Amino acid sequence: TVAIDQLPVVMGDKKANVRTILAYLGEAAKADCDVAVFPECSFAGWLSPAAKAAAETIPGPFTRELAKRARKHGMAIAIGLEERDGGRIYNSAVFIDREGRLLARHRKIDELEIGLKVYSRGETLGVVDFERRKAALDICADSWNPQITDALVLMGARLIFSPSAWAVEPGGVATNIAWIRETYRQRAKGRDLTIVSANGVGEVSEGPWKGRILQGNSLVTGPDGVLLLQGPENEAGLLTLSLP
């Protein structure tokens, strides 16, 4: 059972976002979920000017806290966060298993040009064993690139956790989610592949995309491209689904 955490992201406010993440973890544990999946750039919001100040090393204080919570709740966690490595900032994601082990770290590869002004580009992909499944991480637009999905499938991935930040101009939500839904359908079509994408909600109040909204509409796309779940539009909350 997967918890898809449609967080209300407060741009630039790491303390508020961390409090919300930990609260949602508690709710996912109460729902007896096996894995909790969170959005992209959960510390400060995608493209926030606060990314540099918010970023942490991996492992670091926050991932150690998540590991403690994973052990406490017996629940795995996949989450996007801003990573510091020397003088570079990465748009990263981590996957922590039920025992609190950091199984995987992914740095976003298919970062938009506008994002490269904030984040450095990742260069590697990986697949891990997780409870009789091969699992992997990607981040948002990584899934727009069929070569990335193809590579993960060739490496054995059957389950991809995809923290995301789908932000659109007001009025563009329906068109955007239709395109995203079709893109995921194409990635999973003809394959035994499930993609779990968690998106945030709320106003993009700073940075170059100020004025857009994080639309919610988190998606779970199952084998052969079947839509298993679509979250509500711009509504925070915890969504749960038992995967086949």
Q: Token digits for 132?
A: 């009789």
- Under 8 Å between Cβ of 1 and 241: yes
The pTM is what?
A: 0.97
Nearest to 204 by CA among 219, 218, 214, 190: 214
3-state secondary structure of 159: strand
Tens-digit pLDDT profile for residues 23-82: 999 999 999 999 999 999 999 999 999 999 999 999 999 999 999 999 999 999 999 999
Rounded Cα distance, 184 and 194, in Å: 9
Tens-digit pLDDT profile for residues 116-146: 999 999 999 999 999 899 999 999 999 999 9
